Amino acid sequence: MTDNRVTFGSKLGVILATVGCAVGLGNIWRFPYMVGVNGGAAFLLVYIICILLLGIPVMITEFFIGRHSRKNAAGAFKKMAPGTKWSFIGYNGVLGAFLILGFYSVVAGWTLEYLVQGLDGSLAGKTADEFKMDFEQFSSGIVRPIGWTAAFIALTHLIIISGVKAGIERASKIMMPLLFLILVVLCLRSVTLPDAGEGLVFLFKPDFSKITSSVVLSAMGQAFFSLSIGMGCLITYSSYFKKETKLQATALQVTVLDTLVAVLAGVMIFPAVFSFGIAPTAGPELVFITLPNVFEQLPFARIWSTGFFLLLALAALTSTISLHEVSTAYVHEEYNLSRQKAAWFVSGGVLILGVLSSLSFGVLKEFTIGGLNFFDALDYLTAKIMLPLGGMLICIFVGTRVDRKVLKAELTNEGTIPFHFFNTYAFFMKYIAPFAIGLIFLNELGLINKLSRLF
C-alpha cells in the first residue's frame, strides 16, 4: 500500500464528497423526467428495487476495489489483476466518466444561463410558449451555450487543481448542505400549492400496469447513473478513503441520501406541475421549460427560480468534479504527469466533447450516430451500456477473482467492525447483480425477444 496517498480529511468530508458525486443532474433533472415519461409511481417502485438489489451491492464492491488498491480506476485493476484483461473494466470506467462529462457539462452550462436569467428577472412575464421557444433558441445557439459549457468546465477545473482535500472536500462541504436547504424550501413551497395532492399521487401511488420491460431498463439505467456506479467515480473517491472509513455504512448513507434527494426532487416538481395543469411527460426539457414557467407564476418568482437553478448548478458541480477527478487521477498517476497538467488535458478533451454535444442541438442536429444526435448518443452509450456493463464486470471480477477472506477483511476494516450481512451481500454481488444486469442488457439489445421467438 502506498501510504502517502492523499485521503479525505474527515468522516463528514467522505460522506459529503461521495454524496456530492452521486447527487447531481441525475437526481434533479433526469430522475423527474424519467418518472414523468415512465408512468410515475410505478417507475419509482422499480427504481427503488434496483437501488436495493443492484445499487448497494455494486457500490460496496466499488468501495472495496478503490480502498483496497488505493489507485485510480484503471490502475486499480492493473494492481489487483496484473497482466490480465480485467483492466478493461478500469478503462471502461475512465472513458465512461470522460464521455459523461462531455454531455453533462452542456446541461450544467444551461443551469448557469438560467441562474443568471432568474437573477436578473428576465424569466419574468413570459408565456408558456415563450419559455419553450426561448429554451429552444438558446440551446440550439452557438456562442451562449458553448460559453456556459466552457465556464462550467473551467469552474470544475479550478476545484480539481486545488486538490482532493482543499478542492473537492471543501467545495462539497459548502455546497451539499446548501443544496439540501434549497431543496427542502422548494419542496415546502411546492406541496403548499393548490391541488398539490395530485402530483403526490402521481409520484407515490403506483399503477402496476405501467411496469414494462422498458420501464425496468430505464429504472436500472437511472439507478446506475444516479448512484454513479459502474464506472470509475466511486473507485477513485474510495481510493481517498481512510482505512478507518466504514465502507458498508458509507455505501448505505450515500444511497439513502441520493434516493432521498431524487424523491424530494419529485416532491418539488410534480405538485407544482400538476397544480398548474401541465403534463408531467415533457421529457428532458421538464426542468428548463416547465418549471421556470411554474415558478414565474408564483409570488416572489425571482426567489424560486433563482433558488432552483442554483440548486441544479450546485448539484451538477459536485458531480462534474467527481467525473473530472476520475480522468485526472488516471492521467496523473498512469502517465506520471503533474496533477495540474493532467487536469488541463482532461479539461481540454472535455471541452471538445462539450462543444460537439452543445452543437448537436443546433448546427450539428443532422449529424447522428445510430439515429441519435451526438449528445443523446453519449448519454445512451454511457448510461445504458458502459455503466451497466462496468457494474456487471466489477461484480464478476470481485466475485471470481478476489479471495473471500481479502474481501471480508477490507469490508470489516481488518475484522474491527462487523458486517452482519456479509454472506447476503456476497451472494447478491456474485450471482444476483451480474445475472440481473445481464438479463436487462440482453433485453435491451433485443436478444431476449429474438430468443423467445425461436421457442
- Nearest CB to ligand PHE, comparing residues 150 and 257: 257
CB of 231 to ligand PHE, least distance (A): 6
CB of 224 to ligand PHE, least distance (A): 8
CB of 394 to ligand PHE, least distance (A): 14
What DSSP character marks residue 283?
Answer: G
- Nearest CB to ligand PHE, comparing residues 19 and 80: 19
CB of 180 to ligand PHE, least distance (A): 15
Residue type, 408: K
CB of 445 to ligand PHE, least distance (A): 22
Q: How remote is the C-alpha of 76 from its chain's centroid?
A: 22
- Residue 382 pairs in a beta bridge with none
The per-residue DSSP string of 52-109 comes to: IIIIHHHHHHHHHHHHHH-S-HHHHHHHHSTTSTTHHHHHHHHHHHHHHHHHHHHHHH
CB of 21 to ligand PHE, least distance (A): 6
- What are the two backbone dihedrals, phi and then psi, of residue 430, each rounded to the nearest 5 degrees? -80, -40
The β-bridge relationship of strands 372-373 and 368-369 is antiparallel
How far is the C-alpha of 74 from the C-alpha of 76, rounded, in Å? Answer: 5
CB of 341 to ligand PHE, least distance (A): 23
CB of 253 to ligand PHE, least distance (A): 15
- Nearest CB to ligand PHE, comparing residues 176 and 233: 233
Length of the chain: 455
Element (H, E) at 227: helix 213-227
- Nearest CB to ligand PHE, comparing residues 149 and 228: 228
Q: Enumerate binding residues for ligand PHE (CB under 6 A).
A: 21-22, 24-27, 100, 225-226, 228, 231, 233, 319, 322-323
Q: Smallest Cα–Cα separation from 291: which of 316, 315, 313, 265?
A: 265
Determine contact, residues 272/190, Cβ cutoff 8 Å.
yes
- Residue 372 pairs in a beta bridge with 369
- Residue 368 pairs in a beta bridge with 373
Determine contact, residues 225/96, Cβ cutoff 8 Å.
no
Ramachandran region of residue 414, left (φ > 0), alpha (ψ -120 to 50) or beta? left
- Nearest CB to ligand PHE, comparing residues 26 and 292: 26
- Nearest CB to ligand PHE, comparing residues 13 and 20: 20
- Nearest CB to ligand PHE, comparing residues 18 and 245: 18
Q: How remote is the C-alpha of 270 from its chain's centroid?
A: 21
- Nearest CB to ligand PHE, comparing residues 319 and 357: 319
CB of 198 to ligand PHE, least distance (A): 27
Q: Smallest Cα–Cα separation from 104: which of 278, 313, 272?
A: 313
- Nearest CB to ligand PHE, comparing residues 113 and 258: 258
Ramachandran region of residue 167, left (φ > 0), alpha (ψ -120 to 50) or beta? alpha
- Nearest CB to ligand PHE, comparing residues 220 and 233: 233
How far is the C-alpha of 26 from the C-alpha of 37, rounded, in Å? Answer: 15
CB of 82 to ligand PHE, least distance (A): 26
Determine contact, residues 119/301, Cβ cutoff 8 Å.
no
